[in-house]
Amino acid sequence: MTSPSLAAATAVGPTATGTGTALVEVRGVTKDFGEQRALDEIDLTIPAGVVVGLIGPSGCGKSTLIRLLTGISRPTAGTVRVFGSDPTGFSTRQRRRFGYMPQLPVLFPNLTVWGNLNFIASVYGMSLRRRRRHLLGLLELVDLSEHRHKRLSECSGGMQRRLTLAATLVHHPELLYLDEPTAGVDPILRERFWEHFRTLRDQGHTIVVPTQYVGEAVSCDVVAVMAAGRVITVQRPDTLARFAYGGDPLSIDLGDGWLSGPQLATLRRQPFVRSVRRTDDGLIVAVDDAAADLGRLQQLFAAAGVGVKQVTPMEPTFDEMFVLIIEANTSASERAES
């Protein structure tokens, strides 16, 4: 089986912004915690200049993978290369090339919002002359400007999360790992964050975003779907539906009609039909090419004397697609453990 590749996923299409240079390479990586396997034989290549979504249910291994990519943990087996080197042996200079926003707070509760951000900037050696304007801009981005004199311990969990994102962006890292960056963030601010991520991408930065918010897939250049410690597939957002359904999905509204068992079997045997699912209103039929096969499908129903109210290209939600992908590629016991 061909290993999922972000480089391949970004090779074509309007969202193909990657340079093709492999920034991150993961080969045959497993990670065990005692008898519990958190990551299972993962192969993944991330090129420079893309926004990558790692999307999957809680407990599927997203955060564990990020910890390996930052060098915080070592794999049980396999190799990890970031910027061509093992991240566990990074020098201080190499570590400055990436930024990591963890899920849990890591800043100083007794310092003010401004004090925290100013301290982080000083750690990275940012000059005083350019520091103030840059930090004020980051506080504006995360909507914390008016709270900059407040102690972090007095801030809500959401505010602390937003400050953590600002701190991650302080030193202009070329590679960003943002673990659940929009958790607890309102929709308006969430869109502002994603707009900024896309701007950074256009400037040549690479951003890896593990998230449970399935709808955020549309904001990524490519999406790696994870479940049960595995990367199931890597797709552009506009190809996820085809992967989930095994072809281009068409919604067949049969009105008050119904297909008998033999008619359904005949439909499934058609060379251009990839899958057939019953719904409350009729059928979902996945075909090779929706534009070319829609008419053929209508002719097939007409010849069989089956009344069809409407045949339309289906636009499934990202939630529907991810449910199909994960159910088709994991066992019931694996889903229960996630």
Q: Where are the alpha helices (DSSP H) in the chain?
A: 6-9, 62-70, 92-95, 113-123, 128-141, 157-169, 187-202, 240-245, 261-268, 290-303, 318-329, 332-337
Main-chain phi, psi angles of 187, to 5 degrees: -55, -35
CA atoms within 13 A on the CB side of 318: 18
SS percent in the chain: helix, strand, coil, step 5: 40, 25, 35
Main-chain phi, psi angles of 23, to 5 degrees: -90, -35
Q: Which helix (H) or strand (E) holds 208?
A: strand 206-211
Q: In this structure, what token pair is assigned to residue 192?
A: 């502002």
pLDDT of residue 236: 95
Alpha carbon distance 153, 142 (integer Å): 17
Alpha carbon distance 92, 89 (integer Å): 10
Q: Which helix (H) or strand (E) holds 24?
A: strand 22-33
pLDDT of residue 130: 87
CA angle 202–206–211, rounded 5-degree value: 110
CA atoms within 13 A on the CB side of 77: 9
pLDDT of residue 299: 84
pLDDT of residue 15: 34
Region of 125 (left: φ > 0; alpha: ψ -120 to 50; beta: rest) is left
CA angle 53–58–59, rounded 5-degree value: 105
Q: In this structure, what token pair is assigned to residue 219?
A: 């904001």
Instruction: Judge residue 305's burial from the number of C-beta atoms within 10 Å of its C-beta, 0-12 exposed, 13-18 middle, 19 or more buried.
Output: exposed
pTM: 0.85
Instruction: Judge residue 326's burial from the number of C-beta atoms within 10 Å of its C-beta, 0-12 exposed, 13-18 middle, 19 or more buried.
Output: buried
- Could you give all domains of the chain from N- to C-terminal order, each with its CATH number? 6-241 (3.40.50.300), 244-328 (3.30.70)
pLDDT of residue 80: 97
Length of the chain: 338
pLDDT in tens, the chain (338 residues): 344 555 445 433 233 345 557 899 999 999 999 999 999 999 999 999 999 999 998 889 999 999 999 999 999 999 999 999 999 999 999 999 999 999 887 899 999 999 999 999 999 988 888 899 999 999 999 999 999 999 999 999 889 999 999 999 999 999 999 998 988 888 888 898 999 999 999 999 999 999 888 888 889 999 999 999 999 999 999 999 999 999 999 998 887 777 778 888 888 999 999 999 888 878 899 999 988 888 888 888 888 777 788 888 888 999 999 999 998 888 756 656 65
Instruction: For tokens 């093992």, name the residue.
Output: 86
Alpha carbon distance 138, 130 (integer Å): 13
Q: In this structure, what token pair is assigned to residue 241?
A: 């539906």
Residues 131/121, Cβ–Cβ less than 8 Å: yes
DSSP secondary structure of 42-61: EEEEEESS-EEEEE--TTSS
Residues 9/53, Cβ–Cβ less than 8 Å: no
Alpha carbon distance 213, 56 (integer Å): 9
